[in-house]
Amino acid sequence: MSEAQIKSLEKQFDERIARDEKIEPKDWMPEKYRKTHIRQMSQHAHSEIVGMLPEGNWITRAPSLRRKVALLAKVQDEAGHGLYLYSATETLGISREEMYEQLHTGKAKYSSIFNYPTITWADMGAIGWLVDGAAIINQVPLCNTSYGPYARAMIRVCKEESFHQRQGFEIMMKLANGTPEQKEMAQDALNRWWWPSLMMLGPTDDVSVHTEQSMKWKLKRKSNDDLRQQFIDQTVPQAELIGLTIPDPDLKWNEEKGMYDFGEINWDEFWQVVKGHGPMNKERMKARVGAWEEGTWVRDAAMAYAEKKRNRKEKQVV
């Protein structure tokens, strides 16, 4: 195809998206659209899969059966969300194995929030309330994104996600209304998860490199700073309601703007964690790669068994 032809196709493509038409797997698409989607969607899938690890840590130690079944169901949902997203990404022509390879070698990233440790039960509350809360804010606009399989996967994910946030908030509420030690535990978890949750919504708009193109493709509907502000404005009253304090001395309602002003985010910490120097980066990858490698014989055995069954069936037919 000549350059002029490609330019003309790209123009038509952008117009389709501007008209709110969806792009489906076999449609022509610019190479950059394909690549950007593979990057963002696989990163999203990886985050769901790695996101199971910090919570999986507490399943066996949940304080009651009610909490245990809820946490188990939530972690299982995350596996499901990872699988919806991987299969949606595969429609763009990358294989599951390639994506795993990229995750395991560190070529592909996952959300940096999962590189923090979960050291008390209250962390299960903070993750559901804050991390899933921030994720929902990020994901709801994606239900309307231009790539059909991604949009459909996000609709399923968002439907299922709202229980995650509620179960987290309920844990926090219970602890905040409990003994002084329990309340302290809840406050401590909020202190540790607040700032990483704000960072989770991405770098500030002035340094975010993908924003403009992603907006055009509806891969992003709101800027990182807008999403962050929305998260803060909705979460602060929730903390007040259960008597916990947001760990930000500069946090103040701005009457004029109708939103909260908040303190400086430590972006050095964010970039350190993204670059692999967070408290749990190594541990997470070790667990993930270990699970994949130790599962090799199971996957091989399943294939061998499937083949044996197929051969037996064919023999019977003859």
Partner 1 sequence: MSDKKNWPLWEVFVRSKNGLEHRHCGSLHAADEDMALENARDVYTRRSEGVSIWVVESKHITASNPEHNGELFDPAHDKVYRHPTFYDLPDEVKHM
CA–CA dist 164, 86 (Å, integer)? 21
Binding segment (CB under 8 A) for partner 1, from list 58-66, 95-103, 205-213, 276-284: 95-103
- Strand partners of residue 253: 260
Contact flag: residue 305 with partner 1 (CB under 8 A): yes
* 300: contact with partner 1 by CB under 8 A: yes
- Residues of span 62-81 touching partner 1 by CB under 8 A: 73, 76-77, 80
- Pick the closer one to partner 1 by CB: 179 or 296: 296
CB of 50 to partner 1, least distance (A): 18
Q: Which of 8, 12, 95, 144 binds partner 1 (CB under 8 A)?
A: 95
The yes or no reply on residue 22 touching partner 1 (CB under 8 A) is no
Q: Does 53 bind partner 1 (CB under 8 A)?
A: no
* Cβ 21 to partner 1 shortest distance, Å: 12
Instruction: Select the residue interacting with partner 1 from 21, 27, 205, 212 (CB under 8 A).
Output: 27
- Closer of 34 and 152 to partner 1 (Cβ): 152
26 contacts partner 1 (rule: CB under 8 A): yes
Q: Is 255 in the site for partner 1 (CB under 8 A)?
A: no
Query: In the bound complex, what is the minimum distance in angstroms from residue 84's beta carbon to partner 1?
Result: 6
Q: What does the alpha-carbon distance between residue 149 and residue 183 come to, in Å, rounded to a whole number? A: 43
**How large is the C-alpha radius of gyration of the chain?**
22
Phi and psi angles of residue 252, each rounded to the nearest 5 degrees, phi first? -155, 135
Using CB under 8 A as the binding rule, whether residue 28 contacts partner 1 is answered as: yes
* Minimum CB–partner distance for residue 91 and partner 1 (Å): 8
Number of residues that bind partner 1 (CB under 8 A): 30
Q: Which stretch binds partner 1 (CB under 8 A): 62-70, 94-102, 227-235, 279-287?
A: 94-102
According to the binding rule CB under 8 A, does residue 283 interact with partner 1? no
User: Per CB under 8 A, does 316 bind partner 1?
Assistant: no
Residues 6+ apart with CB under 8 A from 299: none
244 binds partner 1, rule: CB under 8 A? no
Binding of partner 1 by 302 (CB under 8 A): yes
Part of the chain binding partner 1 (CB under 8 A), chosen from 85-93, 185-193, 196-204, 230-238: 85-93
Answer yes or no whether residue 304 interacts with partner 1 by CB under 8 A: yes
Q: What's the 3-state SS for the chain? A: CCHHHHHHHHHHHHHHHHCCCCECCCCCCCHHHHHHHHHHHHHHHHHHHHCHHHHHHHHCCCCCHHHHHHHHHHHHHHHHHHHHHHHHHHCCCCCHHHHHHHHHCCCCCCCHHHHCCCCCCHHHHHHHHHHHHHHHHHHHHHHHCCEHHHHHHHHHHHHHHHHHHHHHHHHHHHHHCCCHHHHHHHHHHHHHHHHHHHHHCCCCCCCCCCHHHHHHCCCCCCCHHHHHHHHHHHHHHHHHHCCCCCCCCCCEEECCCCEEECCCCCHHHHHHHHHHHCCCHHHHHHHHHHHHHHCHHHHHHHHHHHHHHHHHHHHHHC
Task: Give the footprint of partner 1 on this chain (CB under 8 A).
Answer: 24, 26-28, 73, 76-77, 80, 83-84, 87-88, 90, 95-97, 152-153, 160, 296-297, 299-300, 302-306, 309-310
